[in-house]
Amino acid sequence: DIQMTQSPSSLSASVGDRVSITCRASQSINSYLNWFQQKPGKAPKLLIYAASSLQSGVPSRFSGSESGTDFTLTISSLQPEDFATYYCQQNYNTPRTFGQGTKVEIK
Amino acid sequence: QVQLQQSGPGLVTPSQTLSLTCAISGDTVSGNSVAWNWIRQSPSRGLEWLGRTYYRSKWYNDYAVSVKSRIMINPDTSKNQFSLQLNSVTPEDTAVYYCVREVGYSRGWVFDYWGQGTLVSVSS
């Protein structure tokens, strides 16, 4: 199975901050990487697919990038509604696997 | 607009079978570029993909190795839904279970529509 390792596991930030979350795959997955946002009691919501493509309806402050097996989700200016947990997920093969999550909290 | 509506019990006795159903509206279970998945989430295991069913001239299933001996995911074309059966459950199977559509496109696959989630507790 492909292991997805996210860092950090949690972070504290203020409204307006630039925030980056990293996800490392245990092997090459090309660009088959998606990012999700999850709020308490809700299902995950797709933000980014194919490593850097913004899902329809998602604000442009969210962006994704890749370098080899390292992937980054960046929020350019953190908004109050962005405090949530973020997950990466590979769709290179089955079993589909997720990172362990990064919780973004209010400083 | 695709909607997935989950149903099933929230409490299962250890060693018994967990059964959940996911009713689909806005798409068809036998669609050609979609797959129908079950994913669960617990504090100890995080988000865990359990398996999927999909139709490509015939029906296929893929399952996670961790549950492969205990799981069945079945489509029901007459009701446009699919189901999860997980046998011989233990308290470690306690989790929120989601049914999820995965759609394929030129650059990969995405989980784009999720059910509302069902908290299933395994307890006597």
Search chain B and give the residue with CA nearest A46. Answer: B112
pLDDT, residue B52, reads 98
pLDDT, residue B60, reads 97
Q: How would you label B64-97 residue by residue, b for 16+ Cβ within 10 Å and e otherwise?
A: beebeebbebebeeeeebbbbebeebeeebbbbb
CA angle, A87 as apex, A12 and B86 as ends, to 5°?
130
- Is A100 near chain B, with CB under 8 Å? yes
Residue position matching structure tokens 């997720």: A98
Write out the two tokens for A9. 């596991």
- Is A2 near chain B, with CB under 8 Å? no
Q: How far off is chain A from B80, nearest CA to CA, in Å?
A: 22
Give tens-digit pLDDT for A59-89: 999 999 999 999 999 999 999 999 999 999 9
Write out the two tokens for B98. 């989601």
pLDDT, residue A46, reads 97
On the question of a cis peptide bond just before residue B9, with omega within 30 degrees of 0, the verdict is no
Pairing verdict, β B81-86 and B95-105? unpaired
Give tens-digit pLDDT for B37-77: 999 999 999 999 999 999 999 999 999 999 999 999 999 99
Residue B72, strand partner residues: B85
Write out the two tokens for A82. 């962005």
**Are A83 and A37 contacting, i.e. CB atoms less than 8 angstroms apart?**
no
Search chain B and give the residue with CA nearest A47. Answer: B112
pLDDT, residue B7, reads 98
**Alpha carbon distance B20, B100 (integer Å):** 13
Residue B108, strand partner residues: B105
- Is B75 near chain A, with CB under 8 Å? no
How far does CA B33 lie from the centroid of its chain? 17
Q: Which of A36, A44, A97 sits opposite B49 (nearest CB)?
A: A97
Give tens-digit pLDDT for A24-54: 999 999 999 999 999 999 999 999 999 999 9
Give tens-digit pLDDT for B6-25: 999 999 999 999 999 999 99
Over 90: is that where the pLDDT of B105 sits?
no
**Are B117 and A45 contacting, i.e. CB atoms less than 8 angstroms apart?**
no
- Is A52 near chain B, with CB under 8 Å? no
Type of residue numbered B116: Q
Q: Which of B49, B102, B110 sits opposite A95 (nearest CB)?
A: B49
Give tens-digit pLDDT for B69-101: 999 999 999 999 999 999 999 999 999 999 999
pLDDT, residue B29, reads 97
Give tens-digit pLDDT for B107-120: 899 999 999 999 99
